[in-house]
Chains A and B, each alone.
Chain A
């Protein structure tokens, strides 16, 4: 597979490619682990960049700027004096069509910083750590691939089941009961990340198998068909810790990481930048980074 340019990868991340170009990039990503790593690093720096300037829009606007906007400063009045007044029709809405991506990210940042958490925001932890993430041993890589194959497969099973997914809890019951029930079959309790800020509601929990051991698959749904649904698999793992890492299985994006004996995989068809933000939020909520 021919290596495509960085500009193509950046445009893919920004959602700026036509369908044919997007498929070309996805084929490249499927074939080239280095490209996937580069995409994940780009998504990470993009996420950081948005966070870095988010606080400014929450600051109170200085009075002098409001006065200037109203034409109440000396310079503005002087400018206004030389102008004929013209009637203005309303401008188009000032919200970018892509703010559905940016706003949840901003909301997440706000919540993290105001809440005093932001534990994961240390740059050394946030950026993909090429130095620390060593090439896994062949056995570990094989186990990892099987785990990701399963994660993607479980996700596809849920999607193909439509409105009648098989869940391990009565359909009429509280899905949290299913989580509680499943937790009893797992070596460690599973906590439920709240993803409402990302537009996802917890739908159900299932007992699945990962690395040959029982694991929990948490299913989240959303009304926004462009980003959902998604699943989060939490299981135990004997493999070494790794930072969040991007992978793909056909049209399914996966972000997986391991921390202190647990493996996590966030699985969905939302774009990688959006999933990246959710993965960081999940990791923070579960103390999993």
Chain B
């Protein structure tokens, strides 16, 4: 593989049979990968599925790089691609929840107890997110975790801003209820142990 310059003077990377891919486009893609992985992890609930999702999104982005509009947010464009692929996946197959991530939280016995508790608490949050309907989960992750404004999130999922607002409210209330319920179970266990 070699690096050259295209007809317009922009650097390109020549893939194996001589077709070009913009280096700058690729660099932008690499720069946004950590956030894409985080977004995908939130959507899919599994590290392996999330990385598969991001890889598919990269491939689709490269195939459609000419559709990216100058002056718009590259990360939002990529979030949209990730979200679209994920929706396609859950429509075409029943996504089985894997507890691989949760297993990662079960740490060795030499880890301080309080840190294990902390990580289990965060695993509980991720589990609660996994119970949310896909549209609410998407809105929650885009705004609360990725820091998009309501308007930006609405553009990513292509719905009115009011829809984002109501999805977010439902998601936040549901998340809170899930966490409260989980804490109630924990408290019951503690009470039972105490007895």
Q: Are B165 and A11 in contact (CB under 8 A)?
A: yes
- Residues of A near B140 (CB, < 8 A) are 49
Q: Which bracket fits the contact residues of B?
A: 35 or more
Chain B: which residue is nearest A60 at the CB level? B34
Complex contact A53–B112 (CB within 8 A): no
Cβ-defined partner of B143 (8 Å) among A6, A14, A42, A57? A14
- Verify B66–A57 contact, CB threshold 8 A: no
B70 at the interface (CB under 8 A from A): yes
B179 touches A102 (CB 8 A): no
Partner of B149 from the list A64, A70, A98 (CB cut-off 8 Å) is A98
Question: Is there an interface contact between A7 and B179, defined as CB atoms closer than 8 Å?
Answer: no
A226 proximal to B (CB < 8 A): no
B149 & A16 in contact (Cβ 8 Å cutoff)? yes
Which residue on A lies nearest to B151, using beta carbons? A16
A70-111: CB near B (< 8 Å → 1, else 0) gives 111101110111111111111110101111011000000000
Check A85 against B38 for contact (C-beta < 8 Å). Answer: no
Stretch of A115-123, A152-160, A162-170 at the chain-chain interface: A115-123
B171 to chain A, nearest CB (A): 9
Residue among B21, B42, B73 making CB contact with A92, cutoff 8 Å: B73
The answer to whether A81 touches B37 (Cβ under 8 A) is no
Q: Provide the main secondary structure of the chain B interface.
A: helix
Instruction: Knowing A7-B168, A88-B65 are in contact, say whether A119-B114 is a contact too (CB < 8 A).
Output: yes
Interchain residue pairs with CB less than 8 A apart (23): A11-B150, A11-B169, A14-B144, A48-B125, A53-B38, A57-B37, A57-B38, A59-B37, A65-B54, A66-B33, A71-B21, A76-B21, A77-B15, A77-B17, A81-B19, A86-B22, A87-B9, A88-B10, A88-B22, A119-B114, A121-B114, A121-B122, A123-B186
> Which positions in B face A, CB cutoff 8 Å?
1, 6-10, 12-13, 15-17, 19-22, 24-26, 28-35, 37-38, 41-42, 51, 54-55, 58-60, 62-63, 65-66, 68, 70-75, 112, 114-115, 117-126, 129, 140-141, 143-150, 152, 165-166, 168-169, 172-173, 175-176, 179-180, 182-183, 186-187
